[in-house]
Structure 1
Amino acid sequence: MACLIRGATEVDAVAISEVIVAALRGSNARDYSAEVIEAVEKNFSPGAVLRLLEQRQVFVAVVGGRVVGTAGLDGDTVRSVFVEPGYQGGGIGRLLMARVEAVAVEGGVERLWVPSSITAVGFYLLLGFSEVRNEFYGGERTVVMGKRMGW
């Protein structure tokens, strides 16, 4: 399966929203309550995604002409890495993160941060990130992780 990683455009907003909601409901729901999932979903409506496209660099993974994953970079922080559940485990997340890391290095980032869901901690550990601290937003636990960029 050929996967293209490219910059996201406004046309991708609905597809990005759908990928994120599917991942939240299909994967993250194992680790978070329905209330937390519902609250997080509200942050990724198509309109909210359009606003995020203006604030950060966003990338999409496209397979067969369809958006199946997304990731963003906001300065030195990785944001909103999600892959549609049916495509998880196939390397798409790694490809997205490789693009994010390359852009971060090109931008002079020395240390990359990611506020990870509990669900994704293992994924980031495999990519060389280390756990730094836990943060709590009501019932939502986020694991802040960091990685020094290679120079």
Structure 2
Amino acid sequence: MECTIRPALDDDADDISAVIVRALRETNAKDYTDEIIERVERSFSPGAVLELIGRRTVFVATIGDRLVGTASLDGSVVRTVFVAPDVQTRGIGKLLMAEIERTARERKIAALTVPSSVTAEAFYVKLGFNAVRDSYHGHERTIIMERLLTE
């Protein structure tokens, strides 16, 4: 499996949206209610993703011609890290996060923060992030995590 990480293009918006929606429905659904999943899904329509590509530094992971993951950097905040459910646990998220970290270091960012889903908390812990506090949007729990980027 040869996975490539590259900057997102406007033409990727539909595929990014599809990966996010699948991951929400198939992976995150075990930790969140249908109502929460549906609300979060609405934030990642192809049009919304296209707007995010214009505002954030967005990366995608591809295997061959297939887009299988995405992650973005918004200032010092890591956002929208999703990998297609059928290829999760193969190191794709780790590769995306390495690119986020490389970009942050280039920009002299001292620490990264990530609002983690309950589902992804263990993933971020393995990458050296520490939980700072919980945040709630209604009944949706997010764990705010941080990692210092020391040399």
- Quote the Cα distance in structure 1 between the aligned partners of 2:19 and 2:76: 24
Name the residue aligned to 2:11: 11
Q: Match of 1:119, SS?
A: coil
Name the residue aligned to 1:131: 131
Describe the superposition over 1:77-129 as per-residue Cα deviations: whole angstroms up to 9, x where unpaired.
00000000001000000000000000001001001000000000000000000
Deviation, 1:45, is 0.1
What are the within-5 Å matches in structure 2 for residues 73-84 of structure 1?
A: 73-84=73-84
Q: Identical aligned pairs, as a percentage? A: 54
Q: Which amino acid aligns with 1:125?
A: V
- Quote the Cα distance in structure 2 between the aligned partners of 1:64 and 1:48: 25
What are the within-5 Å matches in structure 2 for residues 91-110 of structure 1?
A: 91-110=91-110
Name the residue aligned to 2:49: 49
Describe the superposition over 1:115-151 as per-residue Cα deviations: whole angstroms up to 9, x where unpaired.
0000000000000000000000011100000000022
Structure 1 unaligned segments of length 5 or more: list them: none
Please report the TM-score for the alignment, with normalisation by the length of structure 2: 0.99
- Quote the Cα distance in structure 2 between the aligned partners of 1:50 and 1:14: 8
Please report the TM-score for the alignment, with normalisation by the length of structure 1: 0.99
- Quote the Cα distance in structure 2 between the aligned partners of 1:10 and 1:139: 33
Deviation, 1:64, is 1.6
Name the residue aligned to 2:122: 122
Describe the superposition over 1:27-74 as per-residue Cα deviations: whole angstroms up to 9, x where unpaired.
000000000000000000000001101110000000021100000000
RMSD after superposition:
0.4
Query: How many residues get paired?
Result: 151
Name the residue aligned to 2:22: 22
Q: Match of 2:119, SS?
A: helix
Q: Which amino acid aligns with 1:8?
A: A
- Quote the Cα distance in structure 1 between the aligned partners of 2:54 and 2:35: 28
- Quote the Cα distance in structure 1 between the aligned partners of 2:22 and 2:101: 25
Q: Which amino acid aligns with 1:75?
A: G
Structure 2 unaligned segments of length 5 or more: list them: none
Name the residue aligned to 1:72: 72
- Quote the Cα distance in structure 1 between the aligned partners of 2:108 and 2:74: 13
Q: Match of 2:109, SS?
A: coil
Runs of 4+ in 1 over 4 A off after TM superposition: none
